[in-house]
C-alpha cells in the first residue's frame, strides 16, 4: 500500500514538473514567434499613363480562380479593394459588388457570363462586352485578378516533454493582376505575384487566405505607376 502511494505521488510530481516547465516556456515564446515573408513580382508595363490613374475610374470585375477555390473570388477582390483604397487614394476604385450590381441592373448578366466563357478558352475578354461593362460602371479601366495557386500547410518545429510548443504555419499564393482598357480592349498593365508566408507560432491561428491576399495587394500598391503610395499596412497576426 505504501509503495502504491509513493508511485502515485511520484507520477503526480512528474506531471506538475512537466506542466510548470511548459508554462515557463510559454511565457518565453512570444519573443520567439516570427513571421517570414518571401515575395516576388514580375511587371509588364503597357500603355497606362500615370495621369490616367487620376482621370478615370477602375472597376473590379469577377476574379478567375483555380478549381476548388471558387468561393474565394469575393474575398480576393475585397482584400485588394481594402488595401488599394488605403494605400493608393489617388486611384478611384469601384468594388466588385458595385460592378456586379451595375451589370445586373443593366441586363448584361448573360453577356457577362458569355465573356467569361470565352475567356476560359482564350484568355481574352471580348472588347464589345468590356466596353459595355465600362459604360455601366462609368469606368474606363477594369481590374481582373487571376488566382493561379493557393496552398496551406503546417509542421511541428519545437516540442518538449511530449508537447508541441511551436508550429510553423505556411501559405503560398501565385496570382496575376491585370488592368484592361474597356475602350480599346487592350491590357495596359499587368503583374505576376508569388508569395510564401511562414509563421512560427504557438497559437492555433493559421496563415489565412486573407493574410496572403492583402500582402499581394500591398505589393501591387507599390508597383502601380503614379504618386508614391502611403506606408504599408501594419503587420497582422503573429
Tens digit of each residue's pLDDT (9 = 90 or more) over 79-98: 999 999 999 999 999 999 99
Contacts of 234 (CB under 8 A, 6+ apart): none
Asked if residue 25 and residue 118 are part of one domain, the reply reads no
Interval 137-163 mean pLDDT = 79
Are both 126 and 25 inside the same structural domain?
no
User: Do residues 26 and 81 share a domain?
Assistant: no
- Shared domain check, 169 and 68: yes
- Residue 65 corresponds to which cell in the numbers above? 480562380
Domain count, the chain: 2
pTM of the shown model: 0.77
In a 3-state reduction of DSSP, which class is residue 57? strand
Residues 120 and 25 in one domain: no
**Can you give the residue range of the structural domain that contains 17?**
1-31
Instruction: Say if residue 22 is in the same domain as residue 40.
Output: no
Domain match, 135 and 46 both = yes
Please indicate, yes or no, if residue 233 is contained in any of the structural domains: no
Cβ neighbors of 119 (< 8 A, separation 6 or more) are: 64, 125
- Please give the residue that has the higher pLDDT: either 18 or 84: 84
For residues 159-182, average pLDDT? 78
Residue 234: inside a domain? no
104/89 same-domain check: yes
Residue 231 in domain: no
Helices of type H across the chain: 2-28, 50-55, 73-87, 96-105, 109-122, 127-137, 209-223
Amino acid at each position: 500500500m505504501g509503495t502504491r502511494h509513493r508511485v502515485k505521488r511520484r507520477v503526480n510530481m512528474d506531471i506538475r514538473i512537466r506542466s510548470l516547465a511548459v508554462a515557463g516556456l510559454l511565457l518565453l515564446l512570444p519573443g520567439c514567434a516570427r513571421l517570414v515573408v518571401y515575395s516576388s513580382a514580375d511587371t509588364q508595363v503597357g500603355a497606362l499613363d500615370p495621369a490616367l490613374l487620376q482621370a478615370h475610374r477602375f472597376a473590379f470585375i469577377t476574379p478567375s480562380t483555380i478549381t476548388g477555390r471558387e468561393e474565394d473570388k469575393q474575398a480576393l477582390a475585397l482584400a485588394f479593394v481594402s488595401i488599394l483604397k488605403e494605400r493608393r487614394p489617388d486611384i478611384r476604385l469601384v468594388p466588385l459588388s458595385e460592378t456586379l450590381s451595375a451589370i445586373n441592373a443593366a441586363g448584361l448578366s448573360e453577356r457577362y457570363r458569355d465573356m467569361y466563357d470565352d475567356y476560359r478558352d482564350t484568355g481574352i475578354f471580348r472588347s464589345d462586352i468590356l466596353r459595355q461593362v465600362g459604360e455601366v460602371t462609368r469606368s474606363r479601366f477594369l481590374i481582373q485578378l487571376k488566382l493561379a495557386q493557393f496552398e496551406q500547410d503546417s509542421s511541428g518545429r519545437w516540442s518538449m516533454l511530449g508537447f508541441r510548443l511551436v508550429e510553423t504555419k505556411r501559405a503560398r499564393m501565385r496570382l496575376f493582376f491585370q488592368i484592361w482598357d474597356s475602350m480599346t480592349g487592350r491590357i495596359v498593365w499587368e503583374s505576376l505575384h508569388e508569395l510564401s508566408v511562414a509563421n512560427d507560432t504557438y497559437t492555433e491561428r493559421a496563415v489565412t487566405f486573407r493574410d496572403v491576399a492583402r500582402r499581394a495587394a500591398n505589393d501591387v500598391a507599390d508597383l502601380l505607376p503614379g504618386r508614391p503610395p502611403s506606408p504599408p499596412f501594419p503587420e497582422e497576426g503573429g
